[in-house]
Each structure stands twice: as structure tokens, then as C-alpha cells.
Structure 1
Amino acid sequence: MVLAETPAAELRYAWRVLSVTGLGMWVTFSSVSMVPVALPDMVGDLGAGPAQANWFVLAYQLVTAVLMLPLGRLSDVLGRRTVYVSGLALVTGSTLAICLAGSPEWVVVLRGLQGVGAAAVITNTTALLVDAFPAGHVSRGIGWNITIMSTAVALGPLLGGLLTESFGWRGVFALSAPLALLGTVWAAVALRRTRPITRGRIRADPWGTVLSVLAVGGIVLAVNRVGDGVGTAAFLVPLLAAVLGLVLFVLVERRVSNPILDLRLVLVRFRGSAYAATALLNLGLAAGPLLVSLYLQSLHGLTALAAGLCITAQACGNILVGPFAGRWAATTEARVLATAGAALAVTGAALLALVFALGGSGLPVAGALFVVGLGNGLFQTTNASVINIGVRPWERGMANGFRVMIDNSAALLGSAAALVLVTAWLPHAARADALAGATGGFTADELAAFATAFPVAVGALAVLSLVAVGVSALRGRAPLPEEA
């Protein structure tokens, strides 16, 4: 007979799992945030063309986005430890290989493999925490996990700049590889070996998998080509593929017995509202740091480092509130806490639009982003926790894979919409220069139009995010973890 573990032993194991997921989140998100800083040096050293340079980023984004839902579901079938450790091992191997790559083609392939591993890690993180933490402590684990992720996002650009200046672009990957190896070994040691909880209950859903890849991949590719113009085939073809894939996905998933996404999870009022609210909030707010970077460098002449320091204010807000949000979410109704967080984030976005309208820079911009970070940290911790309430153990990978997939897709769409809005008032010939920060040759009228576009873009996206506040407020009462 196997004796049940004491609550204290169970909680110790849960915090050990958090150390595993925290290290995995640090590896994946710091790597993501460091690469854009190193990109110019990568392009120059490898002799990459514009298309190859684009795929250095796109290969990772595309593969990660399309595989989050399938790999989340796969962890329900094969076991989370298996998928998570395999994912980190793949990140380790591909990152090390990138350090040694001598051609842009190999870097693109390896970045895609890195994306496969990252998707396995990111989509399983919350499910691992929900499996490990007792019901009343889940939100605390998720809060600390989001705090670690925010720290990686905040420090990544600074570390990337220092490593690139000191060792070249390979230094970025040379730092990530041993951390990923450490994370892989620690995950293999610390995570318990358990049998897959499905025990043959679930079979493959090939059509659902293919259609989910078509829908999400179409969105990512359309977003990537939005700069070519919204009327071009390069934009419209993947967009239509995404719409077709989404419609067919819903029709197919309603009829199969073992869907990759059980639509009944979404149709529960408090959970479906949580999914919708996180999608809308990411759609409206995710472009904030991108717009701030462009605004500060193009219109105020700040360096990339100075702009990066301002942008870290948003991550600092997330870091500050994350641990407290986890505690509050365990005892406070999710509708109240998540709605308050969303409202605070929208307030920060409105302040940012006001700062842009007044021509401010530096500290006022950082202050507005800090408010956005506070609200977003409060919302995301609460929302991620409530999505898991009442989800059966063999569906947790599915539920969390879907959440991170829609978060990622909404953020990409929001960023694309922001770039369209901020350049829409410029002549077509000047738009590429505007996005590159090369505004030195602009006329006074073009500069004025560009400056006016920033508060308009941020204000429009803030109004969209305001819808997320309403959706969150109307979600109905979700049970607290202890009640579930």
C-alpha cells in the first residue's frame, strides 16, 4: 500500500515543480527577447538577405504558434513530464547548434526546431503547476511563474545587447544553451514519473490538428506580410486560409469523439469569458512596447538602449504585482480581480495615448507602461488560474494550450494592426522608412502626421481593450479553487 503524501510534502513538491517551470520560462522567454537585439549582427555576420533575416524571427514564431495546442493535447496523452523534458532537450540541442551554424539557411531550420521545443515547454507550464499545487495554492504558483516570465522579458533585451556587443550574436545563444541544458536535467530529476492520465481514453484527432495548424499558421503569416499591404495576395491568401481553417476546425471539433479542443470547455460561461477577455486584452495592449520603441526612437531620437529601459517599466509592473496577484486570486472572486486588472491596464493605455498626444517621452512614457504592467499582471495571473477550475486532469494540457495559443495569436494580430494604424496617414513610399525609424528625410507635414498617428493608434487599441473589461465583468461567478 502507498501512503498518501502529507500536505506539507505535497506543497514542497509543488514548489519544486515551480522551480522547473520557472527555469523553462526563463530560457524560452529570455531567448525570445534577446534575439531581436542581436538580429542586425546575425544578418551581417551570416550574409543573410532580407527574406532570410525575416525568417530568423518568423520560423520561431510560426512553429511555436501552430504547435501550442497540439503539444498541449499531446501532454494529456503521453504525460507532461515526457513532453516537457523532450521540449527542453530540443531547445538545448537546437540552441547549441545555432551557435555553431555557418549559414543563414541552417539558422532558419534550427530556429524552427527551437520553436518546437519552446512550444512544448510554454504550453505545458501551467498544466504542470495545476497538477502539482493543491487547489488553494494554484494561483500563487501561476503568479510566481508569470513573475519569472516577466523578469526574463524585461532583462532579455539588456542582456542581449550586452552579449552582442561583447561576443557577437552567437553570445546570445551561447548563454541560453547551458541554461537550457540545466533546465532539462533539473526537469528530468525533479518531475515525478507518472503514467499518462488518459490511459487510452484519448485517440488522435488528425483533422483537428491539421486545421488548427492551418488557422493559426495563416494568422501568423498574414500578420508577417501586412507590411506588403492589406490588399496584396501575400496578405490575403494566408488570411483567407486562416478563416477557412477556423470555420472547418469548429465544424470538425463538434463532431469528433476525441477532439484536440473540446468546445464544451469554451462554452462554460466563466471559462469562455476568460478566454475571450484574454484574447481581447492581448489584441489591444500587446503592441504597446513596439509602439513605444518606434515612437521614442523615430520621433524623440532616443537610442535603442534608452527606449528599451523605458519599455522594461511594463515588465516591472508585472513583476511587482505577480506574487500578490497569486495570493489574492486564491481568496477573491475572479470576476472582481481580473476585471480590476483589465481596467487598470486599459487606464495605463489611455495614459500612454495622452502622453503621446502631448509629445512626452522618457519618464511619463515609462510611468504609463508601468500602470499597464500592473494591470496586466493582475489580470493574467487571475485569468490563467480561473481557466483551470473544473477542468478534468486529462484536459489540462488542452485547456492551457488553447489559452497560450489565443494569447499569442491575439498579440501578433494586435501588433500588426498597430503598425497599420500608425503608418496609415503617411504616403505609401514613406511607410517603410517610418517603421525603420528613418524619419530624417520626412517633411514637416509627414512628421506631424506620424506623430499624430501614435495617440490615435494607442487610443483605438485601448478602446478595443475596454471591451475586454466588459467581457470580464460579465463572466459570471467562478468557483474559488477550494469550492471547485
Structure 2
Amino acid sequence: MDSVAARHHPWRVFAATSVGVVAVFLSISGLTVALPTVTRELGASAAQSTWILLGYMLVTTALILVFGRLADIVGRRPLYLAGLAVFTVATGLCLLAPSAGWLIAARVLQGVGAAAVVTNNTALLTDTFPPHSLGRALGWNATVAAVAQVVGPVIGGAATAAFGWRGLFVVVLPVGVLAIASSLLVIPRGTRRRVEREPFDLAGAVLSTALLTAVVLALTPGVTSSPWLPWACGAASLVLGAVFAAVQIRRAHPLVDLTLFRNRGIALVLVAVLVNAVATYAVTLLVSLYGQAVGGISAVAAGLLVMPVAVGTVVAAAAAGSLMLRFTPRTLTATGMALNAVGLLGVTLMLSPDGGSLGATAPFLFVLGCGTGLFMTPSTSALMLTAPAERRGIANGLRSTLQNVGYLLSTALALAVATVGLSAPARQAAYGGTLGTLGSAELARFVDNVRAVGLALAVVAAAGVAVCLAFPRRNATALAAVRPLEPATTLKESA
């Protein structure tokens, strides 16, 4: 089966690659509710608990663009299947982990495989779908990822209750195997290589990885005992950022095509994607930690506690397609971001030092989920229909990277601020879900910190509304949302 034949059944490719997306995003978010159980049973330190989450996310984020370029050289299908294989093997290693160090290493390996899956997932869809339906396919692809991400804590909590902290990997392992089997059967051989002769930007790859690592270390002072290392990493990130930008601008074939930002419509959508990810991603982690550390609830109860986010996301994502027939992406994304701000503010105000108001967070978590679901599909479709046809893959790869950067920054900042000022035993107890045993002073400080994070994220979401409202009023994406235009008409730049 070649790529031409695949075009007769492109939704089969979508279905197969969606299984891989579900596996990857379950692994990103599903462990959040199980983290206290992991910390207690493996005896993980606060720093190790942080890296159990951040190690996976950092490696995935750093390698998305790297694997995107490698796929252009060696082919989409081989790298995608290799990524699925690495991810699935690493999931098995996570399942067998006897120590926190082992689990961190396995999670890092998982992140390597996940990066290849995430990158080539969208690229395969770009190669398979005809231009008039590509925007819809990529919009649904982003929706599947968003739903898997928000359902992850619910599944993680249920799996932890049934099988212990290893339960999430018990669930993800067969999903990974299914993803490999379905992809082998459905994804066509010989998907085109658009830039076979372009050299790989090794300097850009090294600089981007170093830059992200420096940023994470600067934002998470609790992962090291050295008081000066976060400051040094903060300074290094500024230098590395400037050097990386300079290198990319001068390269004929850069890792990141910064010229995309010259299009105002594309630039604003990418900024909005980053802002939305930063504002919303850490909420389920914070509420779960709060519920277990302050409210004393179990992992499965924590999963149920954040379930309204998943319900809201599914409801809004299902409605987004119909709403795009009546409203522009500008209106829908701004509304989604505003709902995020309202939900974040409401959740924050409901948190109390005794954990007695957990149930009152449900309506606001639902609103937050609705905002996420309403934002995802219109923003992705706006980007795909604004970008020129030959640069859609690059644009969506950059979208995926910035979204994952947002997830990483959101998690790093949330964990750092939530535990700032706590003693070492209190920080350990916060990760382990036993903070309530250490006295009211530490507990009150932790709750105040979590509230501070929630308010900060609400402000970020409010700023995101302004970004969305700055989208071009009249552009090709608004017309494409109403009726399927010819590619030549649909893909004009709107800046």
C-alpha cells in the first residue's frame, strides 16, 4: 500500500495513529494522581518525585523537533514505528521498576519514544490526508490528544486503585502494543520525504535541548541542593536562547523555521497555544496533590475529583466542530481561554486549609475542561488553514513543540511554587500525600502556595484571551470553517 492508495482510507491512518497518541498522553498525565503512591512505595525524594514527571516531559519536548527533522531524512513510518517500539519497551521497564532511579530512567526512555510518536503522528496525517480535509484531521488529532491528557488522571487513579502505582503502566502497555500492530497494518510504506537532501541541524538540536534543560533547572530549585544552580541555569538559558535564535536565523535549513513567525496569524496562534498549555496543564496535578496531601483522599478519589475536567473537555470538543460553522476561530479560542480563566479562579477560591471544599471545585473544573475543549480544535484548524500547504507539517510540529513546552513549564512552575518555603520533610510529605500529619503551619503554607499558583495561572489565561482577540478578524480560516474552499483560496496568508 503506497501513500496514494492511503488517501482513499486516510481516516484509517488517523485511527491507528490516534492509538499511539492516547498511549503517549496517558503516560504524561496519568501518573499525576499516582505520584504520592509512587513517592511512598519507592521511597522517592522530593527531587526524584519531580523528575519522575519532568524527565519524561523534558525529553519529549526537546526531541519533538529533532525527530521531525530526522523523519524528513529517514522517512516518517520507520521513525514512528521505532518510536512506538521504544515507548512500549520503556513502559514495560516502568512496570518493573524496583527503585525511583530506575523509574526515572525508564520514564526518560519513554519520553524518547513519545517524541518520535508525537512528531510523526501529525506528519503522517499531513502526508496522508488531501488538503481540503487536512485541517479537520489535525484538529481532531489535537482533540484526541487533549481528551487523552485530561482523562489520564481518571484512568491513572482507577488503575492505581486496582493494581497499585504500577497500574497505569499495566493499562498503557497493551495500548502501546495495539498501536504498533495497527500502525504496521495501516500506515503506508514509502511516505514521501520532502527534504531528503537537507542537512540535519545538529547544532540546533543540541542548543534546543540544552536550552530547555536550563529553563527547567532554573524553574525548579527544589530538585537540587545547590542554591546557586537555579540562578546559573536562568542566566545560561538567556544566553542559550539568544545563541539558538541566532543560529536558526542564519541556517539555510534550521531545526526551527522562525520565518513562520513573520505571518501575524500564525505567530498569534502559536503564542496562544503556548499560553493555553501553561495556564491549564498543571491544574489536575495541583488539585490531585492538594486532595491527597490536604484532604487525605486516595488516588482513585483524586482521579474522580479531577474527572469534571475530562467531561468538560469531551463535551466542548464535540461541540467545537459544529460551532466552527457559525463562529470564527478568533471568537471560539478567546471564549475557551476566558472559560479557562474563570475555571482557574473558581478552583483557586474553593481551596481551603482543611480540604473540606474539594467537592465545590467540580463545577469550576468542568468549566476549565470546557475551555480546553473549545480552544483546541479551532486553534489547530486556524494554524493549519493559515499556513501554506507546503509548510503545514512544520507549522504543526512547532505547535506540538510549543504545546509541550507549555506543559513542561506549567508543571515545573507549579511544583516549584507549591513547595516553596516548605521544610524538606514537608516537601517530601506533600509529594507523598501525607502533609496533613506534619502540623497546621506547613499545611497552611502549602495551601497558600497552591492558591498562589492557581491565581497566577488564571492571570496567564486572562492574558491568553487578549492574544486570541488579536487574531486577524477576517482571514482564510474563518471562511474555511464555513465551507470547503479550494486549496488555493483557503491557504492565503492572512496577516
> Is TM-score (shorter-chain normalized) higher than 0.5?
yes
Amino acid at match of 1:215: L
Question: Residues of 2 paired with 1:146 and 1:3: CA distance?
Answer: 22
Distance apart, 1:352 and its partner CA: 2.1
- TM-score, normalization by structure 1: 0.85
Structure 1 match to 2:320: 325
Question: Residues of 1 paired with 2:245 and 2:229: CA distance?
Answer: 25
Q: Does the 8 Å contact 1:24/1:88 carry over to 2?
A: yes
Are positions 1:156 and 2:169 aligned together? no
| Most deviating of 395-404 and 35-44 | 35-44
Distance apart, 1:316 and its partner CA: 1.6
Question: Residues of 2 paired with 1:335 and 1:303: CA distance?
Answer: 40
Amino acid at match of 2:398: F
Are positions 1:281 and 2:276 aligned together? yes
Alignment of 1:284-295 (within 5 A): 284-295=279-290
Structure 2 match to 1:345: 340
Structure 2 match to 1:441: 438
Amino acid at match of 1:470: A
* Inter-CA distance 397–120: structure 2 relative to 1 (3 Å threshold): farther
Structure 1 match to 2:68: 72
* From 348, 359, 379, the counterpart of 2:375: 379
Distance apart, 1:247 and its partner CA: 1.1
* Inter-CA distance 458–43: structure 2 relative to 1 (3 Å threshold): closer
Structure 1 match to 2:58: 62
Question: Residues of 2 paired with 1:108 and 1:433: CA distance?
Answer: 19
- TM-score, normalization by structure 2: 0.84
Amino acid at match of 1:247: A
SS at match of 2:436: coil
Amino acid at match of 1:63: V
Question: Residues of 2 paired with 1:173 and 1:244: CA distance?
Answer: 39
* Inter-CA distance 79–394: structure 2 relative to 1 (3 Å threshold): farther
| Most deviating of 447-456 and 257-266 | 447-456
* Inter-CA distance 414–100: structure 2 relative to 1 (3 Å threshold): closer
* Inter-CA distance 465–269: structure 2 relative to 1 (3 Å threshold): same
Amino acid at match of 2:25: F
* From 73, 80, 83, the counterpart of 2:79: 83
Structure 2 match to 1:233: 228
Distance apart, 1:98 and its partner CA: 4.1
Are positions 1:267 and 2:232 aligned together? no
* Inter-CA distance 267–67: structure 2 relative to 1 (3 Å threshold): same
Q: Give CA deviations for 1:103-158 in whole Å, capped at 9, x if unaligned.
A: 66554433322211101111233333344334444444344334433443344344
Distance apart, 1:43 and its partner CA: 6.3
| Most deviating of 74-83 and 213-222 | 74-83
Question: Residues of 2 paired with 1:191 and 1:330: CA distance?
Answer: 31
* From 200, 204, 209, the counterpart of 1:204: 200
Question: Residues of 1 paired with 2:106 and 2:294: CA distance?
Answer: 36
Q: Does the 8 Å contact 2:154/2:306 carry over to 1?
A: no
Distance apart, 1:30 and its partner CA: 1.8
Question: Residues of 1 paired with 2:383 and 2:80: CA distance?
Answer: 21
SS at match of 1:237: helix
Amino acid at match of 1:192: P
Q: Percent identity, aligned pairs only?
A: 35
Amino acid at match of 1:315: A
| Most deviating of 456-465 and 432-441 | 432-441
Distance apart, 1:188 and its partner CA: 2.0
Amino acid at match of 2:125: L
Q: Does the 8 Å contact 2:122/2:396 carry over to 1?
A: yes
* Inter-CA distance 77–337: structure 2 relative to 1 (3 Å threshold): farther
Question: Residues of 1 paired with 2:53 and 2:414: CA distance?
Answer: 19
Distance apart, 1:410 and its partner CA: 2.2
Distance apart, 1:95 and its partner CA: 2.4
Superposition misfits of 4+ residues, deviation over 6 angstroms: 2-5, 43-50, 357-360, 425-429
Q: Does the 8 Å contact 1:325/1:377 carry over to 2?
A: yes
Are positions 1:25 and 2:21 aligned together? yes
Which residues of structure 1 form unaligned runs of 5+?
Answer: none
Are positions 1:244 and 2:230 aligned together? no
Q: Does the 8 Å contact 2:208/2:244 carry over to 1?
A: yes
Distance apart, 1:433 and its partner CA: 4.7
Distance apart, 1:37 and its partner CA: 4.9
| Most deviating of 353-362 and 212-221 | 353-362
Q: Does the 8 Å contact 1:335/1:473 carry over to 2?
A: yes
Question: Residues of 2 paired with 1:315 and 1:450: CA distance?
Answer: 26
Amino acid at match of 2:376: Q
Structure 2 match to 1:479: 476
Which residues of structure 2 form unaligned runs of 5+?
Answer: none
Q: How many residues are paired up?
A: 477
| Most deviating of 419-428 and 470-479 | 419-428
